Structure 1
Amino acid sequence: MANNITSFPNESKLREQDVVFLMVPFPAQSHLNQLLRLSHLIRSRGFPVHYAASAIHCRQVKLRHDTLLLNTSGIIFHELLTPPFNSPPPEPYSSVKFPQHLWPSFEASLKLREPVATLLRELSSSGDTTITTTRTRRLVVIHDNLMNYVVQDAASVPNAESYSFNCSSTFCTFCITCQFSGKPFPVVEVEPEAIPTLDNCFTPDLANFFSIQTQFDHLKHGNLFSTCRAIEGPYLDLLAQTTHADAAVDNNKKKKQWAIAPLFPVTAIDDKAHPTLEWLDKQPPRSVIYVSFGSLTTMSQEQVNELALGLEESKQRFLWVLRDADRGDIFNGESTILQLPEGFEERVKGVGKVTRDWAPQLEILRHLSVGGFMSHCGWNSCLESLTMGVPLATWPMHSDQPHNALLMTHVLKVGVPVIGWGERDQLVTASVIKKSIENLMASSEGHEVRTRAEELGKAIKHSVEDDHLWELNSFLSYATR
């Protein structure tokens, strides 16, 4: 059964439910969006679903939610009170690539513990607050693993169970687990010294934030991973072995785990027209490289100029989403308008298109004209690209992205590098960008990479279409037992 949601259950069916779900996301776009996608899927099965975040982030996720999915009217949003936080602009010339300007919003998320605890008590006794119900038999709390601290009070609610949702790749999680434990890294495709380390991917503030969350790992009932076995089966098994080895010492550490992605529709459904899709309709099959670096990437003006020149000199068709990184509060302050070289858009007219709007990435990657994706390798972008059978040109910036890039290029072999992680502090020149585009779009290596990506895309779709393979169904059966 493909995960295309077509209808919501009626109210009478909801009245019969005695299991209620509460989603608690981390306040960053890809985290917010993934838990909203999961909310839609669970809601489509007939269960009441609540989504709790600050007023700013509830507004953000509703503004940007996938147009492919149904509107958010079937999900109950709770706008939690959060103390005001600074929302400075991104810093394109910072020596630290991590979006440090978001730290105030991340730090403010720790203040959500009390309002979440209040909501937990309400939902555990009354179920869906929009209709009359009997006492909730079970409250299932699904929270971002960076919100462990905030949801810790679920452990003291007798009829509640909490499950962490990991938005990163399992490969990245396993690498970091090995680093923390000091255990050897048993992955033959990658030399141990090539594995990025916590200190060069994250800031000290965020590493400390991780440590706070880890203190409450033991309170959760299980782990949900935003991946599927077709992509990361070996690393899911390795991570489970590591967890079970720890459980031999402390049986309370043994947790169930499910790989529940992809959480988006794997086949096209009707969608409103968008200028980017209309432009793609006019291009030959597999001829366009899609260029986008997500919602947390800031580029200097010099880097934007080099990227523009590299795209132009490659002579390949391209669709480029050019946007500055999000602020902590996307509604507070104007975004910087990144400038293109003089005459660039006129020179590439008919061959390339630049858009500064929020683009429908899933449908772009699904489009037959798209043959490659130049990406920062955020895990959500990797999942969408692989599911649609589109190979990547990898350009990681920070966080889990360098691990994801290694997974794409060295392990799965569905991508070619623009740069390696060791060159992250250098200006990436137009000639390097041009060469990577040509490798992906117009070489025998690119053809082999594309073939592997298409085969993997078919396997991912099959895992969702087969009820017995899609672990989301297994999780829902367990959580509602």
Structure 2
Amino acid sequence: MGSQTRNNKSLPLTTEVTVVMLPFVAHGHLNQLLRLSRLISAYNIPVHFVTTTTHLRQLRSRHCQYSNNVHFHGFPTPPFTSPPPNPSNHFPSHLLPAFKSSIHLRHPVGNLVASLSTTARRVAVIHDFMMSYAAQDVRTIPNAETYLFNPLSACDSFWRKWERFGRPFPVDPDVLNRLPSEDDTFHPEFAKLEKLQYPHVGFHVGELFDSSRVIEGEYIKYLEREELNDKKKIWAMGPFSHVDKSVVTVSTNRHKCLQWLDLQPSNSVIYVSFGTTTTFSDRQFKELAIGLERSQQRFILVVRAADMGDVSGDEAKMTDLPMGFEERVEGRGMVVRGWAPQLEILGHFATGGFMSHCGWNSTTESISMGVPMATWPMHSDQPRNAFLISDVLGIGVVVNDWEHRDELVLSVAVEDVIRMLIDSREGGEVRKRASELGEAVRRSVREGGECCKEAHSFISYINRE
């Protein structure tokens, strides 16, 4: 996190506290807590990152930068059968067997924390909400304490909690009327796994968000209200994804798409990527491609199969592009198959927009880089992330809203949104707001900034006597 990880000299360094990081077994969640591990380890605090052997292998295949102070633990889980992705489901139900495998980490986690507690003054266990079951034994260890990590936006987290607590205080009725529903955001089987966590929630000292008061200050304040918060501390230490734009430099050994971006005008390219779990139908993907082609705008399109539950890589079938598509858009568009350097793409001067599923990682990366978004949510927190982007922050335009999630998005709609975002006065105004918010976020992670203060506060707290 750029400046945050370099400006820790004002705090005393210690090896008396050890942190255990317990992410949920989905790439976005693993990625968030890997980034937080790097941030915390920069304070000279050892971090133990725990996941399944399968997901650790996936993580290592995608991230090559590690801190010497981050120690990885991969524990085996019973084998499971993973079905192929199903484009008819909004939620990636093919990952449910992998998600359920996470409950088998309970005993390995308890044993690891117990072992670490014999040599550390304090063990701070930061666990994803969806790993509360696996972390339940930590509270029996006298010098260990837990911190709940919420991987969703504060916006989505607030609305779900506000509903669950029976709407304990009034909110703006106009906002409430425009808020996307929770319908179909999660699969019923995932909801069962979520309910398994609730009996083991409430024992934590505080809660962490991969967000910033600069981005979601209103919602974080709501979450701190006594009607929703049982005197738990909240730290908004993100975005964890932040990197300095200066890392984007001209070099011949960079990814070919970055070299191509070097040749394009400023703010002229729309980056199109839908994360690690989205599966389009053949028909929908072709409408997307046709819309990109007809827009006459420059673009980078990421084509990859959704992650498989058994983390077998991109072995699921990739959707085919229309015949002759790449030849017709040659020079104006680039297709990237497989993994793309998303942060570097978003940080490049030529990138003027991001068409996205609005996963929280992608959203915070785009905000950090000051890039406006074209929103197309698929499941989970994404509909309300999209609402935050377009309706609350005003830094995006809508490709498809949640109310029309079951409808085919036609190429003309894709074309119109791209033209508006990249080549219109309205798009320029959205870009200006996105740029201003990005600059505010970058200021917040510098020494003395809001996010930097939150990080220092958390580190001071776990180091307390």
Q: What's the TM-score once normalised by structure 1's chain length? A: 0.90
- The separation in 1 between residues aligned to 2:178 and 2:379, in whole angstroms, is 15
Deviates most, 307-316 or 190-199 = 190-199
Give yes or no for the alignment of 1:303 onto 2:284: yes
The Cα of 1:199 is off from its aligned counterpart by 3.5
Which residue pairs with 1:269 in the alignment? Answer: 247
- The separation in 1 between residues aligned to 2:268 and 2:169, in whole angstroms, is 38
Letter of the 1:259 counterpart: A
Contact 1:201 1:399 in 2 (8 A): yes
* 1:40-94, Cα deviation, whole Å (9 max, x unpaired): 11112111111010001111112112x5xx33544211111211122222012x2
| Runs of at least 4 residues off by over 6 Å | 6-9
* 1:215-244, Cα deviation, whole Å (9 max, x unpaired): 222111110011001100000001111xx2
Matched position secondary structure for 1:313:
helix
- The separation in 2 between residues aligned to 1:427 and 1:185, in whole angstroms, is 38
Pick aligned residue for 2:152 from 168, 172, 175 = 168
* 1:231-263, Cα deviation, whole Å (9 max, x unpaired): 00000001111xx2256xxxxx32100001021
Give the alignment of 1:276-355 within 5 angstroms: 276-331=257-312, 334-355=315-336
Give the alignment of 1:11-22 within 5 angstroms: 17-22=15-20
- The separation in 1 between residues aligned to 2:183 and 2:294, in whole angstroms, is 36
Letter of the 1:263 counterpart: F
Pick aligned residue for 1:245 from 214, 220, 227 = 227
Letter of the 1:61 counterpart: L
Matched position secondary structure for 1:245:
coil
- The separation in 1 between residues aligned to 2:352 and 2:196, in whole angstroms, is 42
Which residue pairs with 1:412 in the alignment? Answer: 393
Give yes or no for the alignment of 1:194 onto 2:178: yes
Q: What's the TM-score once normalised by structure 2's chain length? A: 0.93
Which residue pairs with 1:452 in the alignment? Answer: 433
Matched position secondary structure for 2:339:
coil
- The separation in 1 between residues aligned to 2:168 and 2:277, in whole angstroms, is 32
Alignment length, in residue pairs? 456
Give yes or no for the alignment of 1:434 onto 2:415: yes
Question: Alignment RMSD, CA only?
Answer: 2.2
Contact 1:175 1:195 in 2 (8 A): no
Matched position secondary structure for 1:3:
helix
Which residue pairs with 1:44 in the alignment? Answer: 42
How has the CA–CA distance of structure 1 residues 246 and 414 changed in structure 2, closer, same or farther, with 3 Å as cutoff?
Answer: closer
Letter of the 1:202 counterpart: F
- The separation in 1 between residues aligned to 2:141 and 2:115, in whole angstroms, is 11
Matched position secondary structure for 2:238:
coil
- The separation in 2 between residues aligned to 1:312 and 1:151, in whole angstroms, is 49
* 1:401-436, Cα deviation, whole Å (9 max, x unpaired): 000000000010000000111110011100011111
- The separation in 2 between residues aligned to 1:61 and 1:246, in whole angstroms, is 34
Which residue pairs with 1:477 in the alignment? Answer: 460
Contact 2:3 2:447 in 1 (8 A): no
Matched position secondary structure for 1:218:
coil
Give the alignment of 1:21-420 within 5 angstroms: 21-65=19-63, 70-92=65-87, 94=88, 96-125=89-118, 135-183=119-167, 186-188=170-172, 191-241=175-225, 244-245=226-227, 253-267=230-244, 268-269=246-247, 273-331=254-312, 334-420=315-401
Letter of the 2:72 counterpart: F
How has the CA–CA distance of structure 1 residues 303 and 345 changed in structure 2, closer, same or farther, with 3 Å as cutoff?
Answer: same
Contact 2:180 2:387 in 1 (8 A): no
Letter of the 1:163 counterpart: Y
Contact 2:294 2:415 in 1 (8 A): yes
- The separation in 1 between residues aligned to 2:447 and 2:7, in whole angstroms, is 20
Contact 1:4 1:265 in 2 (8 A): no
Deviates most, 196-205 or 167-176 = 196-205
The Cα of 1:197 is off from its aligned counterpart by 3.3
Q: Is there any run of 5+ residues in structure 1 with no aligned partner, and where? A: 126-134, 248-252
Deviates most, 187-196 or 32-41 = 187-196
Contact 2:138 2:146 in 1 (8 A): yes
